[in-house]
């Protein structure tokens, strides 16, 4: 079962993903894509760590997401990726369009073949004002295209707003 959980900042998407992972009854591996490069991000990472059960595995991978998913996915196992937009930002900051395309294509190619349960978390960035800067517009465009392609490959897609799940695709929670 592949799940995509979208939402804005502080919408409850990560908490929902963690609840789904716990409710699965499967061993969980949390795949973190963030890079705590400043105090604020370090604080966010710390809050996520405190919330997670101690028996969950943890892999921190900011770039090679598809490779980790192919290695870690297995029947009877749940992988929770938080989050795709941070992963996309990490790739954008490399300023290497070929690497970005390769990593994106590798992710999309492997999604439908992965065994087990997969929960992908991502920030919905397309609901606001069109950004003024070129890099920000590119990021929003890339995130939107990525979300469309990932949603196409998932059985369940959820938009989380104010801590409430809105089912976009698949069975209700």
Give per-residue pLDDT as tens, 130-144.
788 999 999 999 999
Does the pTM surpass 0.85? The reply is yes
Residue 17 has pLDDT above 90, yes or no: yes
Quick: pLDDT tens for 30-83: 999 987 777 787 787 777 777 889 999 999 999 999 999 999 999 999 999 999
Catalytic residue, chosen from 15, 44, 48, 169, is 48
> Does residue 147 have an active-site annotation?
no
Q: pLDDT of 82-131, one tens digit each? A: 999 999 999 999 999 999 999 999 999 999 999 999 999 999 998 877 78
DSSP string, 69-116: HHHH--TT-EEEEE-HHHHHHHHHHTT-HHHHHHHHHHHHHHHTT--S
Sole residue written with tokens 């989050």:
83
**70 vs 5: CA distance, rounded Å:** 20
Which residues does 10 contact at the CB level (< 8 Å), separation at least 6? none
Q: How far apart are CA 85 and CA 88, in angstroms?
A: 5
């Amino acid at each position: 079962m592949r799940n995509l959980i979208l939402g804005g900042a502080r919408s409850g998407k990560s908490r929902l993903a963690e609840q789904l992972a716990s409710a699965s009854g499967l061993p969980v591996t949390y795949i973190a894509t963030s890079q705590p490069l400043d105090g604020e991000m370090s604080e966010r990472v710390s809050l996520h760590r405190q919330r997670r059960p101690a028996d969950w595995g943890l892999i921190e991978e900011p770039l090679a997401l598809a490779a980790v998913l192919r290695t870690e996915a297995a029947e009877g196992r749940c992988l929770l990726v938080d989050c795709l937009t941070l992963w996309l930002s990490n790739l954008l900051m490399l300023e290497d369009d070929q690497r970005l395309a390769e990593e994106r294509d590798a992710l999309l190619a492997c999604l439908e073949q992965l065994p087990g349960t997969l929960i992908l978390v991502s920030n919905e960035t397309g609901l606001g004002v069109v950004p003024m800067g070129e890099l920000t517009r590119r990021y929003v465009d890339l995130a939107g295209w990525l979300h469309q392609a990932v949603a196409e490959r998932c059985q369940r897609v959820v938009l989380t707003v104010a801590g409430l799940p809105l089912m976009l695709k698949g069975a209700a929670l």
